Amino acid sequence: MAVKIGRNDPCWCGCGKKYKMCHENFDRKLEQFRQKGYAVVDHSCIKTPAQVEKIKESCAINVAVLDYVGEHIAAGVSTEEINRWVHEETIKRGAIPAPLDFNGYPKSVCTSINEVVCHGIPSENEILKEGDIINIDVSTIYHGYFSDSSRMYCIGNVSEEKKKLVEVTKECVEIGISKVKPWEPIGNMGHAVHQHALDNGFTVVREIGGHGVGLEFHEDPWVSFVSEENSGVLMVPGMMFTIEPMVNMGEAAIWTDEKDGWTVRTKDGKPSAQWEVTVLVTETGCEVICW
Ligand code: MF3
Ligand code: CO
Protein backbone atom coordinates (compact mmCIF):
# COMPACT_ATOMS: atom_id res chain seq x y z
CA MET A 1 0.00 0.00 0.00
CA ALA A 2 1.68 3.15 -1.21
CA VAL A 3 -0.38 5.68 0.71
CA LYS A 4 -1.36 5.30 4.32
CA ILE A 5 -5.04 6.16 4.69
CA GLY A 6 -6.61 7.23 7.95
CA ARG A 7 -9.53 5.09 9.13
CA ASN A 8 -11.87 8.05 8.87
CA ASP A 9 -10.58 9.21 5.50
CA PRO A 10 -12.60 8.44 2.38
CA CYS A 11 -11.90 4.95 1.04
CA TRP A 12 -9.49 4.73 -1.90
CA CYS A 13 -12.17 3.01 -3.98
CA GLY A 14 -14.12 6.22 -4.41
CA CYS A 15 -17.36 4.86 -2.93
CA GLY A 16 -17.67 7.88 -0.62
CA LYS A 17 -17.67 5.79 2.57
CA LYS A 18 -15.02 6.04 5.28
CA TYR A 19 -12.04 3.73 4.83
CA LYS A 20 -12.87 1.80 8.02
CA MET A 21 -16.38 1.13 6.68
CA CYS A 22 -15.14 -0.07 3.31
CA HIS A 23 -11.80 -1.57 2.24
CA GLU A 24 -9.81 -1.43 5.50
CA ASN A 25 -10.30 -5.08 6.40
CA PHE A 26 -9.74 -6.04 2.78
CA ASP A 27 -6.38 -4.24 2.73
CA ARG A 28 -5.35 -5.84 6.00
CA LYS A 29 -6.09 -9.29 4.63
CA LEU A 30 -4.25 -8.50 1.40
CA GLU A 31 -1.21 -7.37 3.40
CA GLN A 32 -1.28 -10.59 5.45
CA PHE A 33 -1.22 -12.68 2.28
CA ARG A 34 1.53 -10.51 0.80
CA GLN A 35 3.66 -11.09 3.89
CA LYS A 36 3.12 -14.83 3.51
CA GLY A 37 4.72 -14.55 0.06
CA TYR A 38 1.68 -14.35 -2.20
CA ALA A 39 1.74 -11.99 -5.19
CA VAL A 40 -1.05 -9.44 -4.90
CA VAL A 41 -2.49 -7.02 -7.45
CA ASP A 42 -2.65 -3.32 -6.71
CA HIS A 43 -5.81 -1.34 -6.08
CA SER A 44 -6.18 -0.35 -9.74
CA CYS A 45 -7.32 -3.94 -10.45
CA ILE A 46 -10.12 -3.85 -7.87
CA LYS A 47 -13.46 -2.70 -9.26
CA THR A 48 -15.96 -0.84 -7.10
CA PRO A 49 -19.64 -1.83 -7.13
CA ALA A 50 -20.41 1.31 -9.18
CA GLN A 51 -17.82 0.36 -11.78
CA VAL A 52 -19.08 -3.22 -11.87
CA GLU A 53 -22.58 -1.94 -12.71
CA LYS A 54 -21.21 0.13 -15.61
CA ILE A 55 -19.06 -2.71 -16.92
CA LYS A 56 -22.06 -5.04 -16.81
CA GLU A 57 -23.95 -2.64 -19.12
CA SER A 58 -21.08 -2.97 -21.57
CA CYS A 59 -21.17 -6.77 -21.18
CA ALA A 60 -24.89 -6.87 -21.97
CA ILE A 61 -24.21 -5.22 -25.32
CA ASN A 62 -21.28 -7.55 -26.01
CA VAL A 63 -23.55 -10.54 -25.37
CA ALA A 64 -26.33 -9.14 -27.56
CA VAL A 65 -23.89 -8.64 -30.44
CA LEU A 66 -22.60 -12.21 -30.10
CA ASP A 67 -26.19 -13.48 -29.98
CA TYR A 68 -26.90 -11.64 -33.23
CA VAL A 69 -23.88 -13.25 -34.88
CA GLY A 70 -24.99 -16.67 -33.61
CA GLU A 71 -28.41 -16.24 -35.19
CA HIS A 72 -27.05 -15.28 -38.62
CA ILE A 73 -23.75 -17.07 -39.12
CA ALA A 74 -23.83 -19.76 -41.84
CA ALA A 75 -21.91 -21.22 -44.77
CA GLY A 76 -21.57 -18.71 -47.60
CA VAL A 77 -21.19 -15.68 -45.32
CA SER A 78 -17.92 -13.72 -45.59
CA THR A 79 -16.03 -12.70 -42.47
CA GLU A 80 -16.33 -9.09 -43.67
CA GLU A 81 -20.10 -9.50 -43.45
CA ILE A 82 -19.71 -10.64 -39.84
CA ASN A 83 -17.58 -7.54 -39.26
CA ARG A 84 -20.42 -5.37 -40.60
CA TRP A 85 -22.96 -7.10 -38.32
CA VAL A 86 -20.77 -6.58 -35.26
CA HIS A 87 -20.07 -2.98 -36.14
CA GLU A 88 -23.70 -2.08 -36.79
CA GLU A 89 -25.17 -4.02 -33.85
CA THR A 90 -22.65 -2.33 -31.55
CA ILE A 91 -23.10 1.21 -32.87
CA LYS A 92 -26.88 1.05 -32.83
CA ARG A 93 -26.73 0.34 -29.08
CA GLY A 94 -24.66 3.47 -28.53
CA ALA A 95 -21.41 1.56 -28.04
CA ILE A 96 -18.04 1.32 -29.80
CA PRO A 97 -16.32 -1.86 -31.03
CA ALA A 98 -13.12 -1.97 -28.96
CA PRO A 99 -10.93 -3.75 -31.56
CA LEU A 100 -11.35 -1.01 -34.22
CA ASP A 101 -8.11 1.03 -34.30
CA PHE A 102 -6.82 -0.76 -31.19
CA ASN A 103 -3.05 -0.71 -31.77
CA GLY A 104 -3.86 -0.25 -35.45
CA TYR A 105 -6.22 -3.24 -35.75
CA PRO A 106 -8.29 -2.50 -38.88
CA LYS A 107 -11.69 -4.10 -38.11
CA SER A 108 -14.41 -4.26 -35.44
CA VAL A 109 -14.15 -7.96 -34.57
CA CYS A 110 -11.67 -10.86 -34.74
CA THR A 111 -12.76 -13.82 -36.86
CA SER A 112 -10.47 -16.84 -36.51
CA ILE A 113 -11.20 -19.87 -38.69
CA ASN A 114 -9.79 -23.41 -38.24
CA GLU A 115 -5.98 -23.18 -37.82
CA VAL A 116 -6.17 -19.46 -37.03
CA VAL A 117 -5.59 -19.26 -33.28
CA CYS A 118 -6.74 -15.65 -32.77
CA HIS A 119 -6.81 -12.11 -34.21
CA GLY A 120 -8.03 -13.23 -37.65
CA ILE A 121 -8.93 -10.12 -39.67
CA PRO A 122 -12.32 -10.13 -41.43
CA SER A 123 -12.14 -10.10 -45.23
CA GLU A 124 -14.55 -9.96 -48.16
CA ASN A 125 -12.56 -12.83 -49.73
CA GLU A 126 -12.93 -15.20 -46.82
CA ILE A 127 -16.16 -17.17 -47.14
CA LEU A 128 -17.35 -19.57 -44.45
CA LYS A 129 -17.85 -23.11 -45.67
CA GLU A 130 -19.37 -26.29 -44.34
CA GLY A 131 -16.98 -27.98 -41.90
CA ASP A 132 -15.27 -24.79 -40.67
CA ILE A 133 -14.97 -23.88 -37.02
CA ILE A 134 -14.72 -20.17 -36.25
CA ASN A 135 -14.08 -18.04 -33.20
CA ILE A 136 -15.88 -14.70 -33.08
CA ASP A 137 -14.19 -12.40 -30.55
CA VAL A 138 -16.27 -9.34 -29.67
CA SER A 139 -15.19 -6.50 -27.40
CA THR A 140 -17.27 -3.44 -26.57
CA ILE A 141 -16.74 0.02 -25.10
CA TYR A 142 -19.87 1.53 -23.55
CA HIS A 143 -19.70 4.85 -21.73
CA GLY A 144 -15.96 4.20 -21.42
CA TYR A 145 -16.30 0.71 -19.89
CA PHE A 146 -14.88 -2.38 -21.61
CA SER A 147 -16.24 -5.89 -22.08
CA ASP A 148 -14.73 -8.86 -23.89
CA SER A 149 -15.96 -12.36 -24.76
CA SER A 150 -15.84 -14.82 -27.62
CA ARG A 151 -17.62 -17.93 -28.84
CA MET A 152 -17.00 -20.76 -31.28
CA TYR A 153 -19.38 -21.64 -34.09
CA CYS A 154 -19.44 -24.87 -36.08
CA ILE A 155 -20.49 -24.29 -39.69
CA GLY A 156 -22.79 -27.06 -40.89
CA ASN A 157 -21.42 -30.57 -40.54
CA VAL A 158 -18.09 -30.47 -38.74
CA SER A 159 -15.74 -33.45 -38.29
CA GLU A 160 -15.96 -35.34 -34.98
CA GLU A 161 -12.43 -34.31 -33.99
CA LYS A 162 -13.11 -30.61 -34.58
CA LYS A 163 -16.40 -30.89 -32.69
CA LYS A 164 -14.53 -32.47 -29.78
CA LEU A 165 -11.94 -29.67 -29.84
CA VAL A 166 -14.67 -27.04 -29.64
CA GLU A 167 -16.51 -28.87 -26.83
CA VAL A 168 -13.41 -29.60 -24.75
CA THR A 169 -12.31 -25.97 -25.05
CA LYS A 170 -15.69 -24.87 -23.72
CA GLU A 171 -15.32 -27.36 -20.85
CA CYS A 172 -11.86 -25.89 -20.15
CA VAL A 173 -13.47 -22.48 -19.62
CA GLU A 174 -16.20 -23.97 -17.40
CA ILE A 175 -13.59 -25.74 -15.30
CA GLY A 176 -11.61 -22.49 -15.12
CA ILE A 177 -14.72 -20.68 -13.88
CA SER A 178 -15.23 -23.30 -11.16
CA LYS A 179 -11.68 -22.59 -9.90
CA VAL A 180 -12.16 -18.86 -9.48
CA LYS A 181 -12.28 -18.38 -5.72
CA PRO A 182 -11.26 -15.37 -3.63
CA TRP A 183 -7.96 -15.50 -1.74
CA GLU A 184 -6.56 -18.28 -3.93
CA PRO A 185 -3.79 -17.92 -6.49
CA ILE A 186 -4.90 -17.51 -10.09
CA GLY A 187 -2.49 -20.25 -11.18
CA ASN A 188 -4.92 -22.83 -9.76
CA MET A 189 -7.44 -21.75 -12.39
CA GLY A 190 -4.96 -21.80 -15.29
CA HIS A 191 -3.59 -25.15 -14.17
CA ALA A 192 -7.04 -26.78 -14.19
CA VAL A 193 -7.75 -25.39 -17.66
CA HIS A 194 -4.47 -26.76 -18.98
CA GLN A 195 -4.97 -30.16 -17.35
CA HIS A 196 -8.37 -30.66 -18.95
CA ALA A 197 -6.96 -29.88 -22.40
CA LEU A 198 -4.04 -32.28 -21.87
CA ASP A 199 -6.37 -35.01 -20.56
CA ASN A 200 -8.14 -34.83 -23.91
CA GLY A 201 -4.96 -35.01 -25.97
CA PHE A 202 -4.86 -31.29 -26.81
CA THR A 203 -2.36 -28.51 -26.06
CA VAL A 204 -2.75 -24.93 -24.83
CA VAL A 205 -1.10 -21.85 -26.32
CA ARG A 206 1.51 -20.47 -23.93
CA GLU A 207 2.35 -17.03 -25.34
CA ILE A 208 -1.13 -15.48 -25.39
CA GLY A 209 -3.36 -15.40 -22.32
CA GLY A 210 -6.20 -13.62 -20.61
CA HIS A 211 -6.19 -10.21 -18.98
CA GLY A 212 -7.85 -7.87 -16.56
CA VAL A 213 -10.60 -5.87 -18.25
CA GLY A 214 -13.23 -3.25 -17.45
CA LEU A 215 -11.69 0.20 -17.22
CA GLU A 216 -9.33 -0.59 -20.11
CA PHE A 217 -9.34 -3.22 -22.86
CA HIS A 218 -6.33 -5.00 -21.39
CA GLU A 219 -5.40 -4.50 -17.74
CA ASP A 220 -3.30 -6.37 -15.23
CA PRO A 221 -3.01 -9.19 -14.47
CA TRP A 222 -1.88 -11.17 -17.48
CA VAL A 223 -3.54 -14.59 -17.15
CA SER A 224 -1.83 -17.84 -18.16
CA PHE A 225 -3.70 -21.04 -19.01
CA VAL A 226 -0.62 -23.23 -18.66
CA SER A 227 0.20 -22.21 -15.10
CA GLU A 228 1.41 -24.20 -12.11
CA GLU A 229 -0.80 -24.66 -9.07
CA ASN A 230 -0.17 -22.12 -6.31
CA SER A 231 1.40 -19.64 -8.70
CA GLY A 232 0.43 -16.17 -9.88
CA VAL A 233 -1.43 -13.35 -8.21
CA LEU A 234 -4.06 -13.89 -5.57
CA MET A 235 -7.64 -13.64 -6.85
CA VAL A 236 -9.45 -11.13 -4.65
CA PRO A 237 -13.01 -9.79 -4.56
CA GLY A 238 -13.51 -7.02 -7.12
CA MET A 239 -10.93 -8.33 -9.57
CA MET A 240 -12.18 -8.85 -13.09
CA PHE A 241 -10.39 -10.84 -15.78
CA THR A 242 -10.95 -12.99 -18.84
CA ILE A 243 -10.68 -16.77 -19.11
CA GLU A 244 -9.87 -17.39 -22.77
CA PRO A 245 -7.65 -20.41 -23.40
CA MET A 246 -6.58 -21.14 -26.96
CA VAL A 247 -6.63 -24.92 -27.31
CA ASN A 248 -4.82 -26.63 -30.19
CA MET A 249 -5.55 -30.03 -31.68
CA GLY A 250 -1.84 -30.58 -32.38
CA GLU A 251 1.25 -28.78 -31.12
CA ALA A 252 1.02 -25.69 -28.95
CA ALA A 253 3.41 -23.71 -31.16
CA ILE A 254 2.08 -20.65 -33.00
CA TRP A 255 3.31 -17.97 -35.39
CA THR A 256 2.12 -14.49 -36.30
CA ASP A 257 1.64 -13.58 -39.96
CA GLU A 258 3.99 -10.66 -40.66
CA LYS A 259 2.01 -9.73 -43.78
CA ASP A 260 -0.86 -8.31 -41.70
CA GLY A 261 0.89 -8.20 -38.31
CA TRP A 262 -2.10 -9.80 -36.54
CA THR A 263 -3.23 -13.23 -37.69
CA VAL A 264 -1.93 -15.92 -35.33
CA ARG A 265 -1.85 -19.49 -36.67
CA THR A 266 -0.82 -22.89 -35.38
CA LYS A 267 2.65 -23.88 -36.56
CA ASP A 268 1.50 -27.36 -37.59
CA GLY A 269 -1.60 -26.05 -39.41
CA LYS A 270 -3.97 -28.07 -37.21
CA PRO A 271 -7.17 -26.49 -35.87
CA SER A 272 -7.39 -24.32 -32.76
CA ALA A 273 -10.39 -23.31 -30.66
CA GLN A 274 -11.09 -20.62 -28.09
CA TRP A 275 -13.96 -19.49 -25.89
CA GLU A 276 -13.70 -16.36 -23.79
CA VAL A 277 -15.61 -15.19 -20.73
CA THR A 278 -15.12 -12.31 -18.34
CA VAL A 279 -15.43 -13.12 -14.63
CA LEU A 280 -15.74 -11.01 -11.52
CA VAL A 281 -14.21 -12.42 -8.34
CA THR A 282 -16.78 -12.12 -5.54
CA GLU A 283 -16.65 -12.60 -1.75
CA THR A 284 -17.73 -16.21 -2.16
CA GLY A 285 -16.61 -17.30 -5.62
CA CYS A 286 -17.13 -15.81 -9.00
CA GLU A 287 -19.72 -14.28 -11.25
CA VAL A 288 -19.55 -14.73 -15.01
CA ILE A 289 -20.42 -11.28 -16.32
CA CYS A 290 -19.80 -11.76 -20.03
CA TRP A 291 -20.18 -14.80 -22.24
N1 MF3 B 1 -10.45 -9.59 -28.03
C2 MF3 B 1 -9.06 -9.96 -27.88
C3 MF3 B 1 -8.85 -10.43 -26.47
O4 MF3 B 1 -9.54 -11.29 -26.07
C5 MF3 B 1 -8.16 -8.84 -28.22
C6 MF3 B 1 -8.13 -8.53 -29.63
S7 MF3 B 1 -7.08 -7.25 -29.94
C8 MF3 B 1 -7.55 -6.82 -31.48
O9 MF3 B 1 -8.07 -9.97 -25.72
F10 MF3 B 1 -6.99 -5.69 -31.74
F11 MF3 B 1 -7.19 -7.76 -32.31
F12 MF3 B 1 -8.84 -6.69 -31.51
CO1 CO C 1 -9.72 -11.00 -24.12
Q: Is 102 in the pocket of ligand 1 (CB under 6 A)?
A: yes
- Provide the pLDDT for residue 14: 85
- Taken as a whole, the chain contains a residue count of 291
For residue range 101-140, what is the model confidence (pLDDT) as tens digits? 999 999 999 999 999 999 999 999 999 999 999 999 999 9
For residue range 160-216, what is the model confidence (pLDDT) as tens digits? 999 999 999 999 999 999 999 999 999 999 999 999 999 999 999 999 999 999 999
Cβ–Cβ < 8 Å for 255, 264: yes
**b/e sequence 186-225, b meaning 16+ C-beta within 10 Å:** bbbbbbbbbebbeebebbbbeebbbbbbbbebbbebebbb
Measured CA to CA, the distance from residue 139 to residue 216 in angstroms comes to 11
Q: Is 276 in the pocket of ligand 1 (CB under 6 A)?
A: yes
Q: Is 169 in the pocket of ligand 1 (CB under 6 A)?
A: no
Ligand 1 nearest-atom number relative to CA 242: 4
Q: Ligand nearest 213 Cα, by number? A: 2
Measured CA to CA, the distance from residue 40 to residue 233 in angstroms comes to 5
Cβ–Cβ < 8 Å for 185, 233: yes
Ligand 1 nearest-atom number relative to CA 276: 4
Residue nearest to atom 4 of ligand 1 (CA): 148
Question: What single-letter amino acid sits at 264?
Answer: V
- Provide the pLDDT for residue 3: 62
Q: What is the Å distance from ligand 1's center to 120 Cα?
A: 10
Mean pLDDT of 254-265: 98
State yes or no: pLDDT of 1 exceeds 90: no
Q: How confident is the model at residue 2 (pLDDT cuts 50, 70, 90)?
A: low
For residue range 27-49, what is the model confidence (pLDDT) as tens digits? 999 999 999 999 999 999 999 99
Q: How confident is the model at residue 15 (pLDDT cuts 50, 70, 90)?
A: confident
